[in-house]
Amino acid sequence: RWGSRLGNQAKMESAPFRLVNSVFNSDAAVQGGDECYVLGTALSIDERILAVSSSNHVIKLYDPNTLGLFGQLAGHTNTIQDVVFSRNPEQPHLLFSCSDDSTLQIWDARQGFLVRRINVQGEEILSCSVNCNGTLLAAGTHKGVIRLWDLRTGKQLTAFQDSHSDEVTQVRFHPSIPNLFVSGGEDMLLILFDLTQNDEDDCILSTMNCEHPVSRVTFFGPQHDHVAIVSTASPTLSLWNIDSAERVSHFTDVRVSPLSAATLAANGQDNGGVPGLPVDYLIDAHYESFSQRLFVSAGTFSGDVGLLHVNQHYVQMANQLVGGHSSIVRSCVSASDSSSFISGGEDSKISLWSSAPTNPL
């Protein structure tokens, strides 16, 4: 179990990150024109393409190793709420985006063109997700509706209209089981669905009351049988076993995680003896599969980023990324081997961080 394994680690060893490169997300920001905030980031499964959604309704495409810009996708007319890549290794270049303009758009990010546009009249689409074999697309809307499409035919399969009573802010398919997905919303519910069943009620395997709005959902654990639920503004974090629908940990405010002064000192932190962490908000959760460790990215209003190691009983600072931003950081992605980390923020900047040692001259 992840909890028993991590519960015995008193000190987190993590290679420090250094800032490799930082670029503006728009020429306008460099020239003093309208700023182009970074709203979201997504990294293709082969880690060759970084997609960045921007406040000007455009998706920009970067080389994640250099932050070199090589393309842009213009098709949305309102705020882009989510960008995700296909997790199917045979389709690593397919990018899915959803927006307040009531559309889902499927892109070939390698060639830079629109593959398909799906219109959902009268509903702002807040989140989207594709299952692991690339056959199903799910979307959550501001009206509390979850819609599902068969990507092989392009036809809508169903719409779940009664499961949530408020905005559906996150939908995420299981990383390896194509018929399982979770949804979370402003109604503070996290719901696990099994799409092998016929109607909405039968599809619901469990409903979990998170006691705080759901902003981000991340599967974790060796079998991906746990989820981390992040509420970005609170900042609240809860961890759930989706098989048993039981909450295994709950941090109402990670800034005051119950970490002793002795443990803080052992990790080189000085909080004047007061248990706490120097962050203002949460960004997202990140699971490091090769080490079976869970991290949460958090930020300060001045633009610093902290990577927090999550234990079943406490949260502690593992790494601090300083100097890459001057304002709120909206999104972060990590390489699969955790050797690099990319952040994007309201200062219109994208920053690339690396834990690899520098080569001596």
Walking along the chain (361 residues) 10 residues at a time, the average pLDDT comes out as 43 75 73 73 97 95 96 96 96 97 97 96 97 97 97 95 96 97 96 94 95 95 96 89 95 68 47 56 94 94 93 87 95 93 96 80 46
What is residue 233's predicted lDDT score, i.e. its pLDDT?
A: 74
What is residue 276's predicted lDDT score, i.e. its pLDDT?
A: 53
Q: Which residues pair with 193 in a beta bridge?
A: 181, 204
What is residue 10's predicted lDDT score, i.e. its pLDDT?
A: 39
Taking the C-alpha atoms of residue 231 and residue 214, their distance in angstroms, rounded to an integer, is 5
Taking the C-alpha atoms of residue 132 and residue 143, their distance in angstroms, rounded to an integer, is 26
Q: Is 283 exposed, middle or buried (0-12, 13-18, 19+ CB in 10 A)?
A: buried
What is residue 264's predicted lDDT score, i.e. its pLDDT?
A: 47
Taking the C-alpha atoms of residue 342 and residue 351, their distance in angstroms, rounded to an integer, is 6
Does an H or E element contain 95, and which?
A: strand 94-99
